[in-house]
Structure 1
Amino acid sequence: MPSSRRSGRVQANTKYNTDPFASVGISDESDSEKTAKTAKAPKRKGKRRVEESASDEEFVAPGSDADMNEGPDDDDDDVSEEAEEVGAEEIDDGDEMEVESTASTPKRKATHARPHVHKRRPPNNEVAPSPDEIHFRGIMDPKDHVAKPMHYALTFGSDERDLLSAMYMRDRWFRGIDACLPTRFALEQPEGSDYGYGPTMGIEPEQFRTEQTRGWDWFYDDLGKKLQKQQTLSEINEADALQIYFTAPKSGKHTILMGPTNQQTPIQLGYQESYNFGKIWKNMKARKSDQSAQSQVREGWLMNFGSKVQCIAWAPNQDGLSQYMAVVAPLSDEQKKIYHPAGSEPLSPFHPTPPYSCALQLWEFKGKKTGERTNTLDMEFEPRLRLALCSDWGDLRRMAWCPMGREKRSKDKTGDREHLGLLAGIWGDGILRVLDISIQRKSEKAEFLKIVSPIFEAKPPSTLCSSLTWLSPSDIAVGCNNGFVAIWNIQQSNTSDKLPYFYHPVHTSYVLSIASAYPTNPHLLSTIAMDGETRLWSMLDPTGEILFSFFSTDENNFGRMLPTRRFFASSTVGRCPSTVSCVAQPSFWHPCLMYGGCGGEVMASNPFRRLLYNKEQQWQQLWFTHDWAQGADPHSSGVSRFYDGYQADSQSLARNLAGEKKPSLGLSLTSIHDESTHVTSLGWNPSRPCAAWASAALGCGLVRVEDLAI
């Protein structure tokens, strides 16, 4: 008689014990706790999250029961929940071994995922820990399940000024259509005074007004005039400037493919030329917006600078129709060979570079009125070069306009010149310099000037500058390549030594980036260095770590928000398809940010939504994707292709996406893209009327400028 067929699965009744005290019969648990542990747990069923379209009704009204009872989790909890959902779907896999315990727990597939731990809600939502708990940060762990008011207090602060500014941003940018890019409807809304400290980000309105007026008195007094006299500029011939300080144009024109995917149009763009790519989209119409009549789908400018664009920056405090953008395109490698004799040592970021020639270009764009408070690009006015500042201090690596607000005065226009603002930069020789940028008012011809001396220059002792940020109209913080941070006040430039009034070691190696929490907490600075650490510290007490937000990225190409009140716990707000190469921080006028990748993608998102509601679906949208390839002529600048018209989509922010397949070799793979494909620099226009104007620089020398208001 044939034997009956039995299951090939191995049945095991195993009890695992990891407590060494329980193994010898010692336990501090009560009988009720033991009974609760041996009780049969209900079986959880895997379920997928249903993606809903972004709409104005997708948020829970603040103050409702659902809003108060649902507690936000940290990103690590979100990852655990997604891992459980995936694991629950794979329980019935017949090839896996089943392990049963004496507690009759539900059968689950054994995984290496971290178990999901349910934490108890603090009694009465108290912030202070119990006496028997030890908290070395002095603040509750945001992974605890707390109500929305407690979450806001831990993220933004418990003070009225902190909460009013958060409420102001929430009510202004809560609409689903604002999930990725700012809308013209929201930008047209007046700031109002119902929120008190809201429009000024928690600062006293009178104090904010004082900074825009009295905070700049020093620049218009005798001290400021003395500083302006220290800056010396000399005229230079246009032909000589183009030959010595500008990158040499390659033979032929740059070929660009752009337009609808099914009928892309080739464009030939020469050196220092611009093109209105709205002509390609003239046969396609956009949906009618709330503020303007039906217009073309896309309008913007493409510009060719001939080589890799190092950095771009918009001039702030420009309330008129004219807007100015600073562009730096260093010399090509062929032009730099004359500075490297045979047998010379290779260049290092820890040593000054040879005195390369470099030109800081200032380009003018025109806008036209689309509403009471916003402007769009005037496509009838072609961008033009207004000013070229030439120097022999090496490549201009970093630059930043002074972003602090400044009230217009009659002294801004003296003679035939108009003052635009202060611009700080770090050149290849490692020295910090500040320039007073002004242009001719009546002449439309480009000026070519050579910088003999700036209004301020300084270098920290025995090291070089690597990054910079403005703290006030006269204070500048600089990161150094030895891990130190130095802070100068340019009003004290009359001293001979020009030593920084703050000089302290923060890292152990090269400081890659430095940013200030202006305007709410200008004394708080965040730094990232080659030692792999991201730190938040106070210039008032640099040795004490202080636990508003900063935006950063990690090695997995995730974008992360780091609130100043819980800097130790980040919130994932986006993901880039390739390695992140540059970031455009949110503007003072809207919370949307952008980040570009080495694969040529530029992503846009509104991280404030997820900062308020941690379980909210995070939406992001591709502005464009850029591809570059070498043309038939090896000496040409190559061929570029732009893809536009992407739809906004929600992102899965788990560290290991469930849909990704592991490579057969068991190794992680990284794509390497051509340097000309990279997005090298991004920026929002900081001026109020043109807050939705965005610019992107590419490794092939192209710069794209577009009004992204929806």
Structure 2
Amino acid sequence: MPSARRSGRLTGPRAVYTNDPFESAGISEDSGSEEVQKSATKKGKRRRDEDSASDDEFVAGGANDAEEDEDEEEEEEEEVEEGKEDHDDVDEMDIDEPRATPRTPKTPGRRKANSRPKTVQNQQNLRDDGGAANRNTKVSADETRSRGVVDPKENVSKPMHYITTFGDDDRDLLAAIYTRDRWARGVDTCLPTRNALDVQTKAHDYEYGPTWGASPEDMERERTSGWDWYYDKDTGKRFQNLQKTGPKLKEADARRKYLPRSNKGKHTILMGPVNNQQVFHLGQHESFNFGEAWGETKAQKSDQNSANVREGWMISFEQRIQCLAWAPNQNGRSQYLAVVTFITTDQKKKYNLPGTNPPSSFCPLPSYPCALQLWEFTAKPAGGVTHTLDMDVKPHLRLALCTDWGDVRRIAWCPMARERREEDDKNGMASIGLLAGIWGDGKMRVLDVKLAPGKKTEFVKIEMPVFEAKSPSNVCSCLTWLSPTDIAVGCSDGFVAIWSILPTSDPAPIPYFYKPIHASYILSITSAYPTNPHIISTVGMDGETKLWSIIDPASEYTTPVRQRQAAAHISYSPILQSMFSYDENDFGRLMPIRRFFATTSAGRMPSSVISLAPCSFLHPCLLYGTASGEAVAANPFRRLLYNKEQHWQQTWFSHDWASGTHKDSSGASRFYDGYRAETQSLARSLAGDKRPQLGSSLTTIYDERTHVSALGWSPNRLTAGWACAGLGCGLLRVEDLAI
């Protein structure tokens, strides 16, 4: 039976033997004669027949060739090592370690330098005979890749920091340089400037910069030939004919069922200078220019766009605003904003059937009526390229898409660029774009939104969309576009499904990707389009935020620190090559896709974050909405370049709500404007916090109608500075924030 393996560590003085057991075995450096080799072969063969030791013991240092000497040393080693624990086995790397001088005593578990057992030596001889590469050859650094091994928060050089943040590819670095030269100036620390938005950079100046690291040829191909399927006489015609609409509804009937009023009174609004605020009253779908609230207060002479300090539109919807989304690919003066509001709980009671289960986000809800509203805003030239709001033309409801599929939970326009063609105005109908949404019955649907000529409001009943899908045994919860034909959908059981919206003969389309990503409900999903459209990030109710690849989600994924309270929103900025979200401590989270595990704080909010505007493709500024009614803007790019950079952020406005004095009133709202940009400490400890501390961390609960429930940036180049904010009390604020 082979002897037990012992430690090779030197624990005390050892006897020095003049007879080397390896020399007798014929495998030492000095034994090269044929007679010694023959005797070693015979001796090794005899011992292999007598002993059943495996080849691993020869390699690991078990040295059966030294078995005879082991018995002689055993008693002495037991005396020296008595009372000591033996924790480490012999390391294989010790076989080739150079030995120090003077010569150290040999032990059974340690060999002479460069000496190998027979099996190792014979294998080396075979490799040498075959002309194989030297075993000491090192792999070139250019042929190796590593991720997540360097912590950029440590003292690393700037080149190393840039490589770990943006990558070492020229496409990524050129995109970062283009962003730095355009958006890293001090004047753009919070909100975009009109001068920066008006800059028209030639493609050859930064090559991949204006296309966020993607190939300009690929972007041009997607903008043109990528939409050929939609205009095809076969596929495109079948796709557009799938949408079925009923007869146009009368305005009175549509408003009664799909846009009901909960209060007969009007909403009271207080705006203007703090010491002299004006009072306004708004009914459902009424609007006013809140620049009138500032009276004689005028803007600076340098502002050539407006004579008033603030200009913008305020519209009342009387119900909580759930979703907002600007229509992309609009290059004219007319800009369209999709708005979704809920109907009240009392209004839903008459649609609940007796014996139905209580409402749950994990189960389909009854088919409540709901309307998706499309509002038209008019623009006028303000700079070399950009436009501002035309305050002489009031916004108006252009189209109401009425459905009976339950409340609309999420909406998203197809963001891919689309070259306008003559077919878009076919039959007198102007094509606006493809709008996808998640309805209360758990299904994902895509609508082909088109407008009739004229300015009259249309009320259209949608009976069948161009595409409809539902995952088995669960409901859809969130969605994101991957391409003009592909949509990724998060589900209530933690699965992610990806469908192609191209028409098929199957009445129930089957997703070509359907795999579990989270353990529970998926709250938000986004893709790293256009830089890496195959990379997707999801946020689950389990508190995990994951970045994974469609190619192999089981192995190609990464996660930052798990949150106790999951965020409801996540968005990708191609300009910053980073994902943005927030945590339970009211901090914004910046997560570059190349070091997703190491998050960076990108803002500190005065209260819990409720909403996050989808990142713009035209500037790097962010918008956060809080429970206390603040809308906060910040540009985190300077902090992305250097994580110790001072952070600046600016409050767009602050909103308070209170119940009205009249019984039929929908309440009163007060707005505070004119906040200046301020530096914000992003320290995680409470030391140095300007907010008052009461000895413990407290969370204030605000009324739901005070919340900033939805935010959005305009995705169009002409109106890149336009922003919109929806409130829990039903007010919508639209303003041009370009400075």
Q: Could you state the TM-score of these two structures normalised by the residue count of structure 2?
A: 0.76
- 1:229 maps to a residue whose letter is N
CA distance in structure 2 between the aligned counterparts of 1:293 and 1:509, rounded to whole angstroms:
50
- Structure 1 residue 585, shift from structure 2 partner: 2.9
User: Per-residue displacement from partner, 1:435-469 (whole Å, max 9, x unpaired)?
Assistant: 0000012x211111101100000001111100000
3-state SS in 1 of match to 2:360 = coil
Match among 230, 245, 250 for residue 233 of structure 1: 245
Instruction: Measure the CA separation in 2 of the matches of 1:464 and 1:472.
Output: 23
Q: Does 1:608 align with 2:656?
A: no
Q: 1:143 maps to what in 2?
A: 153
Question: Of 516, 541, 545, which aligns to 1:534?
Answer: 545
The 1-side partners of 2:492 and 2:504 are apart by 23
Conserved? CA contact 2:477–2:489, under 8 Å: yes
Work out which of the residue numbers 461, 472, 497 in structure 1 matches 2:483: 472
1:307 to 310, 319, 328: 319
Shift of 1:142: 1.9
**318 and 662 in structure 1: CA distance in 2 versus 1, 3 angstrom threshold:** closer
Distance in 2, matches of 1:664 and 1:589, equals 40
Alpha carbons 1:249, 1:271 under 8 Å: kept: no
Q: Residue 277 of structure 2 aligns with which residue? A: 264
Matched, 1:421 2:433: yes
State whether residues 682 and 695 of structure 1, in contact with CA within 8 Å, keep that contact through their aligned partners in structure 2. yes
Contact residue 411 and residue 437 of structure 2 kept, 8 A: yes
Q: Cα offset for 1:664?
A: 8.7
Q: How far, CA to CA, are the matches of 2:507 and 2:302 in structure 1?
A: 58
1:653 aligns with 2:682: yes
1:352-431 map, 5 Å: 352-431=364-443
Letter in 1 for 2:331: D
Residue 192 of structure 1, aligned match among 190, 202, 205: 202
Written as runs of structure 1 = structure 2, the 5 A alignment for 1:18-57 is none
Query: 1:583-623 CA deviation, whole Å, 9 max, x = no partner?
Result: 01331110001000011000000011111121111100000
Structure 1 counterpart SS, 2:435: strand
Q: CA RMSD in A?
A: 2.1
Preserved CA contact (<8 Å) 2:631 2:652: yes
Q: Which amino acid aligns with 1:279?
A: E
Q: Deviations over 1:450-498 (max 9, x none)?
A: 0110000000111110000000011000000000000001014433331
Question: Is 1:326 the equivalent of 2:338?
Answer: yes
Whole-angstrom distance in 1 between the partners of 2:417 and 2:257: 36
Question: After superposition, where does 1:262-301 map in structure 2 within 5 Å?
Answer: 262-289=275-302, 292=304, 295-301=307-313
Do the aligned residues in 1 keep the contact of 2:178 with 2:206 (CA within 8 Å)? Answer: yes
Residues 184-206 of structure 1 show CA distances to partners (whole Å, capped at 9, x for unaligned) of 01011112220000000011111
Matched position secondary structure for 1:209 = helix
Counterpart of 1:67 in structure 2 is none
The question of whether the paired residues in 2 share the 8 Å contact of 1:620 and 1:650 is answered with: yes
- Letter of the aligned partner of 1:692 in structure 2? G
1:454-603 maps to which residues of 2 (within 5 A)? 454-546=465-557, 548-603=577-632
Indicate conservation of the 8 Å contact 2:153/2:643, yes or no: no
> How far is 1:662 from its partner?
10
SS in 2 for 1:478: strand
Residue 87 of structure 1: aligned partner: none
Q: 1:471 to 1:448 in 2, by over 3 A?
A: same
CA separation of 1:649 and 1:138: change in aligned 2, threshold 3 A? closer
Q: Which is further off, 278-287 or 374-383? A: 278-287
Q: 1:406: how far off? A: 0.4
Partner SS for 2:279 = strand
Q: Residue 559 of structure 1 aligns to a residue in which SS?
A: strand
Describe the SS at the equivalent of 2:415. coil
8 Å CA contact 1:526, 1:537 repeated in 2? yes
Which deviates further from its counterpart, 274-283 or 213-222? 274-283
Matches within 5 A, 1:145-184: 145-184=155-194
Q: Give the drift of 1:415.
A: 1.8
Note if contact 1:285-1:297 (Cα within 8 Å) is conserved in structure 2: yes
SS of residue in 2 equivalent to 1:596: strand
Instruction: Please state whether the residue corresponding to 1:636 is helix, strand or coil.
Output: coil
State the distance in 2 between where 1:566 and 1:164 align: 18
1:445 paired with 2:462, answer no
Cα displacement (A) at 1:554: 0.3
Residue 104 of structure 1 corresponds to which residue in structure 2?
A: none
Question: Contact between 2:294 and 2:308, CA under 8 Å: does it hold in 1?
Answer: yes
Aligned residue number for residue 350 of structure 1: 362
For the residue of structure 1 that corresponds to 2:650, the secondary structure is strand
Distance 1:645 1:138, change over 3 A: closer
Listed one character per residue, the Cα deviations across residues 146-190 of structure 1 (whole Å, up to 9, x for unaligned) are 111111110001000000000000100111110000000101111
Q: Report the residue type matching 2:269 in the other structure.
A: I
Listed as ranges, the gaps of 5+ residues in structure 1 are: 1-24, 27-126
Letter of the 2:594 counterpart: R
Residue 270 of structure 1: CA displacement?
1.1
Residue aligning to 1:63: none
Alpha carbons of structure 1 residues 659 and 240: separation in structure 2 relative to 1, 3 Å: same
Whether the 8 Å CA contact 1:551–1:585 is kept in 2: the answer is no
Q: CA deviation at 1:236?
A: 1.5
User: For 1:559-606, what per-residue CA distance to the aligned partner results, in whole angstroms no more than 9, with x for missing partners?
Assistant: 010000000000101011011000013311100010000110000000
Q: Deviation string for 1:293-346 (max 9, x for gaps)?
A: 563211000000011111111000101100000011121122111123566532
* TM-score (normalizing by structure 1): 0.79
CA apart distance, 1:519? 0.6
The one-letter code of the counterpart of 1:498 is P
Q: Retained in 2: the 8 A contact 1:456–1:493?
A: no
Structure 1 partner of 2:658 = 629
SS of 1:471's partner is strand
Tell me how far 1:701 sits from its aligned partner. Answer: 0.4
Structure 1 distance, partners of 2:694, 2:268, is 39
Letter in 1 for 2:699: T
Distance in 1 separating the partners of 2:261 and 2:514: 40
CA contact (8 A) 1:247 1:329 kept: no
Aligned length: 581
- Residue 723 of structure 2 corresponds to 694
Amino acid of the structure 1 residue aligned with 2:287: S
SS of the residue aligned with 1:491? Answer: coil
